[in-house]
């Protein structure tokens, strides 16, 4: 069990906090809004009405020993920055922060935050990719310029081996796994001679331009 501090209980913070709690973790959720704190109090370990921009308040809450602090404040840039600075002053090593714009992200980077997320942007990009590519089942950003996708095997790949479709050399894309109908038919770190079936799903990692190229060359059929 890990200890998490979630600051800001908008949609992102609320769902993150409650999900982590359901996973069996110790979760403290804080927000300035009594209404938001009241709405989550039965679904986390501890819910507190508090202002994360006040360093003294955070210190009194005893949050310095949490494994991870997530700053989900996005609407007020200054509040987000102050919350991050206060957490750093308390010596919390692992801080994750939500950004709502590129300038916000740049400021967080200047503060030394390594894990910065764009929940709305990432969701929109994922949906755009699914709508654009009929074979795409799911998309997950991996790092700048790279992603992980679940792709229904295009018709032109059915019955062929990984060696024959040659995704690595053609697109710079790595096949991480082939998901079959069940666990027994799922292959991790698949071999070049593995044959693709119509019901298979490819788990692919690679540059976004390479992943996008699969839409062009790998249509359903």
Domains of the chain with bracketed CATH: 3-117 (3.40.50.720), 122-217 (3.30.70.1450)
Say which residues have a Cβ less than 8 Å from residue 15's Cβ, sequence separation at least 6. none
Q: What is the pLDDT of residues 190-203, one digit of tens each?
A: 999 999 999 999 99
Per-residue pLDDT at 128: 74
Q: What is the pLDDT of residues 74-89, one digit of tens each?
A: 777 889 999 999 999 9
Per-residue pLDDT at 9: 95
Max CA-CA distance within the chain?
64
pLDDT surpassing 90 at residue 209: no
Q: Is 193 helix (H, G, I), strand (E, B) or coil?
A: coil
Helices 77-89 and 102-110: crossing angle in degrees, nearest 10, is: 20
pLDDT surpassing 60 at residue 221: no
Q: What is the pLDDT of residues 13-69, one digit of tens each?
A: 999 999 999 999 999 999 999 999 999 999 999 999 999 999 999 999 999 889 999
Q: How far is the C-alpha of 52 from the C-alpha of 163, rounded, in Å?
A: 54
- Say what the pTM is: 0.67
Q: Is 26 helix (H, G, I), strand (E, B) or coil?
A: strand
Q: How many residues does the chain have?
A: 221
Per-residue pLDDT at 74: 74
Q: How far is the C-alpha of 214 from the C-alpha of 29, rounded, in Å?
A: 42
Average pLDDT of the segment spanning 167-171:
91
220: confidence class by pLDDT, cuts 50, 70, 90: very low
Average pLDDT of the segment spanning 171-179:
92
Q: What is the pLDDT of residues 94-150, one digit of tens each?
A: 999 999 888 998 999 999 999 998 877 777 776 777 677 667 777 776 777 888 888
pLDDT surpassing 60 at residue 216: no
Q: How far is the C-alpha of 147 from the C-alpha of 141, rounded, in Å?
A: 4
Per-residue pLDDT at 133: 67
Per-residue pLDDT at 145: 83
């Amino acid at each position: 069990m890990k200890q998490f501090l979630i600051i800001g209980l908008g949609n992102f913070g609320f769902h993150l906090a409650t999900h982590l709690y359901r996973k069996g973790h110790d979760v403290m959720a804080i927000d300035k809004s009594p209404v938001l704190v009241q709405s989550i109090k039965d679904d986390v370990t501890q819910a507190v009405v508090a202002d994360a921009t006040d360093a003294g308040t955070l210190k009194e809450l005893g949050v310095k020993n949490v494994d991870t602090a997530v700053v989900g404040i996005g609407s007020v840039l200054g509040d987000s920055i102050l919350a991050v600075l206060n957490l750093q002053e308390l010596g919390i090593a692992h801080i994750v922060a939500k950004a709502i714009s590129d300038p916000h992200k740049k400021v967080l980077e200047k503060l030394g935050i390594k894990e910065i997320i764009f929940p709305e942007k990432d969701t929109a990009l994922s949906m755009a990719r699914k709508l654009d590519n009929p074979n795409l089942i799911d998309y997950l950003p991996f790092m700048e310029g790279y992603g992980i996708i679940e792709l229904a095997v295009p018709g032109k790949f059915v019955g062929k081996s990984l060696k024959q479709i040659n995704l690595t050399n053609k697109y710079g894309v790595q096949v991480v796994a082939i998901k079959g109908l069940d666990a027994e038919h799922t292959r991790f770190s698949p071999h070049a001679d593995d044959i693709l079936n119509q019901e298979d799903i490819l788990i692919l990692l690679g540059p976004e331009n390479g992943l996008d190229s699969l839409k062009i060359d790998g249509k359903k059929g």
